[in-house]
């Protein structure tokens, strides 16, 4: 094997070049760190340790020492906003926007922070103005998300629809949102008895998202309000093909409308059929209450007992004991009431709906989470049965 002698000389040279490059990088980093105010580094340390008040004090001192440090101004304004001192955050961020020595990227970041400040303060018109200016920049996607949130807070559903159509749609998420926006517009029309316009909005929602259960529910409401009970019942029954989990949400509608038609027994049998195929605690609750209202406590007791054998839950046990109080012998009734009181106290924690995105729990069902603002993030099941299913 032939070997060139000069290769032996090249190895030390490579090591030397690497050593020199490393020294240059280290000196560069040291020079940059020394150029930063010491209080800025202290502020970062306080942030890491979640000591917000001390971090703010450190950043205020850093700004006093070096008023030209843009990053410190941005960080300080954001901290003020997080602490609720929105007016101070606005002054800091707006001051950056008005400066003439900023780069374009820095100015856009400052304008974005101003928009967030106004949004936090509830000054939606000013926040909208700031984010509209950002729509034609590199921050377009972020600006459009903020504008969509603003229009939802303002209930400007037509504007929300327009901007949502321009945003990228991942997994048909925007389609579902837009369908809900049309449902919100339909509710406004229903409130003023303009049923034709409400129906047009609901048909549009179902065209955009054929599996929009909420639109089908509202469509049935409009038909029932116009006296078309058969058409309303047929619309609600179609929810079985769309998403049977939501049948419990229309159970009361089916019962009331069927009762008006003189077919309450048929409605109860239909709900029993639904519960047999798609059991939920809410659906069980509707049937249970109907049987108890008709003074059929033993029928209600047997219904819940059979469900407990199939799906044992505290909520089901609570209903069983409620019926047992009535059917129990007089000498045992006080004991049953005592046990029921103990169980009922525990069921209050699990008888809630839970958002799958942020974990916010609520006693009533929401199409849009009050905490995180996500649509259709609440499964139509109580916490206990949802946890058991998972």
CA distance 105 to 117: 19
Residue 212 assigned to a binding site: no
Residue 355 assigned to a binding site: yes
**Packing angle between helix 213-225 and helix 173-191, nearest 10 degrees?**
20
Residue 183 assigned to a binding site: no
CB of 186 closer than 8 Å to CB of 198:
yes
Residue 354 assigned to a binding site: no
Closest CA relative to residue 316, chosen from 287, 273, 295: 287
Q: For 312, phi and psi rounded to 5 degrees?
A: -70, 120
CA distance 335 to 76: 62
Report how far apart, in Å, the C-alpha atoms of 11 and of each of 6, 17, 20, 21, 22 are: 9, 10, 15, 16, 17
Instruction: List the beta bridge partners of residue 361.
Output: 354
Instruction: Please tell me whether residue 57 adopts helix, strand or coil conformation.
Output: helix
Binding-site residues: 355, 358, 369, 372
Binding-site residues for Fe cation: 355, 358, 369, 372
């Amino acid at each position: 094997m032939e070997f060139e002698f000069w290769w032996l000389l090249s190895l030390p040279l490579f090591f030397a070049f690497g050593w020199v490059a490393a020294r240059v990088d280290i000196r560069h980093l040291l020079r940059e760190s020394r150029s930063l105010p010491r209080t800025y580094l202290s502020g970062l340390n306080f942030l890491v340790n979640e000591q917000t008040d001390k971090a703010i004090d450190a950043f205020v001192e850093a700004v006093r020492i070096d008023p030209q440090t843009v990053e410190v101004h941005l960080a300080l304004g954001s901290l003020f906003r997080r602490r609720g001192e929105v007016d101070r955050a606005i002054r800091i961020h707006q001051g950056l926007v008005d400066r003439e020595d900023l780069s374009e990227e820095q100015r856009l970041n400052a304008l974005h922070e101003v928009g967030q400040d106004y949004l936090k303060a509830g000054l939606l018109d000013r926040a909208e103005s700031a984010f509209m200016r950002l729509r034609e920049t590199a921050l377009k996607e972020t600006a459009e998300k903020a504008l969509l949130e603003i229009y939802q807070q303002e209930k400007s559903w037509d504007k929300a629809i327009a901007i949502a159509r321009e945003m990228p749609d991942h997994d048909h998420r925007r389609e579902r949102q837009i369908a809900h926006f049309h449902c919100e517009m339909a509710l406004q029309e229903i409130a003023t008895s303009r049923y034709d316009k409400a129906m047009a909005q609901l048909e549009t929602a179902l065209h955009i998202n054929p599996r929009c259960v909420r639109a089908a529910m509202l469509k049935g409401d409009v038909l029932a309000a116009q006296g078309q009970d058969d058409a309303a019942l047929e619309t609600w029954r179609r929810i079985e093909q769309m998403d049977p989990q939501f049948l419990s949400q229309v159970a009361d509608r089916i019962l009331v409308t069927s009762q008006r038609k003189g077919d309450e027994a048929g409605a109860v049998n239909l709900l029993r059929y639904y519960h047999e195929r798609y059991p939920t605690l809410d659906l069980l609750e509707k049937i249970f209450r109907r049987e108890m209202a008709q003074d059929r406590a033993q029928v209600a007791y047997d219904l819940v007992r059979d469900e407990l054998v199939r799906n044992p839950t505290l909520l089901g046990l609570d209903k069983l004991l409620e019926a047992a109080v009535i059917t129990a012998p007089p000498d045992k009734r006080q004991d049953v009431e005592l046990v029921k009181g103990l169980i009922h106290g525990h069921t209050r924690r699990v008888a809630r709906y839970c958002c799958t995105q942020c974990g916010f729990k609520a006693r009533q069902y929401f199409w849009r989470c009050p905490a995180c603002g996500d649509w259709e993030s609440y499964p139509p099941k109580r916490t206990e049965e949802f946890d058991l299913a998972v």
